[in-house]
Amino acid sequence: MSGPQDARRNGRRKRVLSAQEKYQIWQQLLIGELTQRQAAEQWNVDPTTIMRIRRVGREGALQALAQSRPGVRAGAGSAQDAELAALRAEIARLEETVKEQAIELVALRGKSRSGW
């Protein structure tokens, strides 16, 4: 009988790992706690799964390091920066609208006083 974390494939049981489990495996491989073969046996997965976890972890780490900049907070910074830029643009647009309306109001008041 297979549990919720298992799936049948080609008559063999295939273990489906969570993201947290994959990260834990990657850490164990990274610090040398387990070899790839030991990890496959311990976690009851195919050795190719372990090789894929190792490759994806390495690629992800390299990509994250390539994008990181010293002194800049990681995470939602780019989304916050984009939102901040959009809000600043909206403020500038509204300021220009208010200036135009103020000029128009002064012109209209001037016309009504002079009797036009």
pLDDT exceeds cutoff 90 at 51: yes
- 53, two tokens: 């976890």
Q: Which residues of 6-41 are buried (b: 16+ CB within 10 A; e: fewer)?
A: eeeeeeeeeeebeeeebeebbebbeeeebebeebbe
CATH 1.10.10 fits 1-67, yes or no: yes
Evaluate if pTM is beyond 0.75.
Answer: no
Residue 2 banded pLDDT, cuts 50, 70, 90: very low
